[in-house]
Amino acid sequence: MSNHFIPPVVRTVILPRLAQAVMVALLVGVLTFILVRSLPGDMAYRIAAGRYGYDMVDTAAADAVRRELGLEQPALTALGSWLWDILRLDFGNSLISGAPVIKEIVHQFGATVELSLAAVLLSLLIGPPLGVLAGLRPGGWLDRVLLVVSSGLRSLPAFVLGLLLIILLAREFGWFPAAGHGSASNLALPALTLALGLAAVSARVARDAMLGVAQSPYYAFGRTKGLSERQVFARHGMRNVAVPIVTYLGVQFVYLIEGVVVVESLFAWPGIGHALVHAIFARDVPMIQGTALVMGLMFVVLNTGVDLACRWLDPRVARA
Amino acid sequence: MAADLSLPLVAERSFWSTQRIIGVALLAAIVAFAFVTPFVFDGSPTRQSLRNVLGAPTVLEPLGYDHLGRSMLARMSAALRLSLGLAFLSVITAAVPGIALGILAAWKGGWTDRLISLVADAFLALPGLLLVLMFIAIVQDAPWALYVGISLVLWIEYFRLTRSITRALVLSPAVQASQLLGFGPLYIVRRHIWPEIAPLVLTVGAFGAASAIAAIAALSFVSVGVRPPTPELGLMMTELLPYYHEAPHALLQPVVAVFLLILSLNLIAGSNSR
């Protein structure tokens, strides 16, 4: 295939990420297909019950469902139509609430985006500035304290950190409500939980990056030619430090997505992660499928954003 | 995937750093507590004594009682045995095929490589915990669901690491010389490839064990992992959180245990890695 007509951004960023998105859909689709097939009982009755309510199910209704969905066809064909439904974003109805999955997810997605954005922004406000300050004075007290604190934070899984914050900030000091959704104060603890976990890593990344930049010849030259500390950082430091931080953000999104699942459950935050855990608990297959797919796609989209930001920050990547 | 593994050269720094020694000592202490306690202390993690509900630590019961009057000492040691055992099993189960497939992919190249890499990429497309969650949904209520799910996530890191190291080595003059001299693949793997991989296996393994322990606790904490009355660190936190006011010591025990476990494994893994 000739690459002449495809812009490099598309070739190196968009296409691989699109492939990843397809992979996510396939993975979720195949896993939920196996899940449905492995459920005990007749699937047609189960789906009919989900559609018409448990009181309205009889053999006729189940047969109608079986004919309509082609449930008696061989496994491979069934898998095909199963995946086709996912491709059209047709997830069906939740087995628990009866409402269309897509409608529930749209609602929950807003809450999850709110939480994730708040967490990432907060972590960027906490982590990199502290890391840069520490990197400018390696071995100083800030550097040492930061090393201990970030090692400690990294040894706490997100839900344990959240638990400690609840005990400390909600119970002992009473600063924030421990759970709930609606006002800005409800956002504080779950966002802080995720942000501290993210900042523990981004501070270390920023510290190492700043140390490397500060020792580089171009940084020394900037100082020698008479730029002030502030100017040399703004002109020569900032962008170079930002590249590894943003690159590492991509790795951190794994932590974010995993954290969202657990932290939302801990704080009763009505987001996708909370819904996914509930769906798994109740074996609500359509909801499992929808929520897992959205979480996976969110992961892909966030990573695409990181890739694009890296290219913008460091144009050398694009030329290489 | 941005995880750029800049490989430290072997023997660049000494294998036994202070940090790693502290980590090993801490882990050894935890393992000793978990496995020696049942021999020294006669107690069952499920036997109730309702007079002592949420009782404070005493001489005979050094860690106190939980909300159902069960011995916290027996429960903590049992929970630690579960976490340690499951993490160890998952890491071993992930390491063996991960390393083998990594060497195979790098050695054979071509379609073998492409196929295995595609499978690994597919697993990487979803964050690990989501994969484990979906897997648990399929084989719910099976105790091995957690173990298989976690191993399925952990093998990828071994595969990627081994593959990237082996790819460079296979083309090296040393390996080519061995091949020309007529040595078989087994010899080459043992003589040339394994010594390069071995030091990193510990790092990846320690990290894998840490994330396995965190995943087991997190999943049980949201009630999709281990079921009551099995003692498990995350589950114990869920159970004891409502009684924090009456018995803070009970809730803090599993919290401290998870923290120390992961801290020790992170210290063993080393400082290069974030």
The predicted complex's ipTM stands at 0.81
Domain coverage including residue A105 = 101-319
Asked whether residue A107 falls in the same domain as residue A83, the answer is no
Does position B255 have pLDDT exceeding 50, yes or no?
Answer: yes
| pLDDT of B1 strictly over 50 | no
Q: What is the pLDDT of residues A107-153, one digit of tens each?
A: 888 888 889 999 999 999 998 999 999 988 888 899 899 989 998 99
Interchain pair B214, A157: CB under 8 A: yes
Q: What domains appear along chain B, each with residue ranges and CATH number?
A: 33-50+70-268 (1.10.3720.10)
Q: Which residues of chain A have pLDDT under 70?
A: 1-4, 39-43, 46, 50-51, 69-75, 95-96, 178-183, 317-320
pLDDT at A73: 65
Is there a single domain that holds both residue A230 and residue A284?
yes
CATH number of the domain that residue A134 is part of: 1.10.3720.10
Which of B27, B117, B123, B138 best probes binding to A when mutated, by most A CB atoms within 10 angstroms?
Answer: B138
Q: How confident is the model at residue B61 (pLDDT cuts 50, 70, 90)?
A: confident
Q: Is there a single domain that holds both residue A164 and residue A272?
A: yes
Q: Is there a domain that residue A308 lies in?
A: yes
Closest chain B residue to the Cα of A301, Cα to Cα = B125
Residues A252 and A160 in one domain: yes
Residue from A196, A183, A189 nearest A125 by CA = A196
Same domain, A71 and A155: no
- Cβ distance of A277 and B137 shorter than 8 Å: no
By C-alpha distance, the chain B residue nearest A27 is B122
Q: What's the domain count of chain A?
A: 2
CB contacts < 8 Å between A and B, how many? 133
Contact assessment for residue A93 and residue A100, using Cβ atoms and an 8 Å cutoff: yes
What is the reported pLDDT for B13?
A: 56
DSSP track, chain B: ------PPPTTSS-SS-HHHHHHHHHHHHHHHHHHHHHHHS---SS-B-GGGTTPPP-SSSTT-B-TTSBBHHHHHHHHHHHHHHHHHHHHHHHHHHHHHHHHHHHHH-HHHHHHHHHHHHHHHTS-HHHHHHHHHHHTTT-THHHHHHHHHHHHHHHHHHHHHHHHHHHTSHHHHHHHHTT--HHHHIIIIIHHHHHHHHHHHHHHHHHHHHHHHHHHHHTTSSSPTTS--HHHHHHHHGGGTTT-HHHHHHHHHHHHHHHHHHHHHH-SS--
Q: In this complex, do A258 and B274 lie within 8 Å of one another by their Cβ atoms? A: no
Cβ-based contacts of B140 with chain A (< 8 Å): 280, 283
Interchain pair B138, A31: CB under 8 A: yes
The domain boundary residue, chosen from A87, A111, A146: A87
Chain B residue numbers with beta carbons less than 8 Å from the beta carbon of A194 are: none
Shared domain for A50 and A155, answered yes or no, is: no
Task: Look at residues A87, A117, A145 and tell me which one is the last residue of a structural domain.
Answer: A87
Q: How far is B187 from chain A (nearest CA, A)?
A: 37
| Residue A95 falls inside a structural domain | no
- Look at residue A96 and tell me if it is in a domain: no
Contact B135, B74 (CB under 8 A): no
A213 with A287, same domain?
yes
- Per-residue pLDDT at A119: 92
Do A8 and A136 lie in a common domain?
A: no
pLDDT in tens, A78-113: 777 777 777 777 777 776 677 777 888 888 888 888
- Asked whether residue A249 is domain-assigned, the answer is yes
CB contact under 8 A, A159 and B218: yes
**Residues A81 and A120 occupy one common structural domain:** no
